[in-house]
Amino acid sequence: MTNHKIVNREEWTDARNELLVREKEHTRQGDDLARQRRELPWVPGRQGVPLRNRRGHAHAGGIVLAQKLMRCEPPPTCRWP
């Protein structure tokens, strides 16, 4: 069990504000890394190279569709487990 320091409300608020500054910087750095990852150069796919999934062969059109669906929000009528 950890022994937490007991402080008054003002000290807690100061400590929380300092932590918030660090958390925001952490978020900005993560966002910047994600942007850099998205901006990485691409290489062209080779023609005739079969793509495989768990059930066997797939084609690039199905993969592109799956990627688009993964980025979309579910419709309001859908129930997700």
State the pTM of this model.
Answer: 0.50
Residue type at position 60: A
User: Is 14:20 a contact under the CB 8 Å cutoff?
Assistant: no
Question: Which pLDDT does position 60 carry in this prediction?
Answer: 57
Q: What is the mean pLDDT of residues 56-81?
A: 57
pLDDT of 62 above 70:
no
CA 19, CA 58: separation in Å to the nearest integer?
48
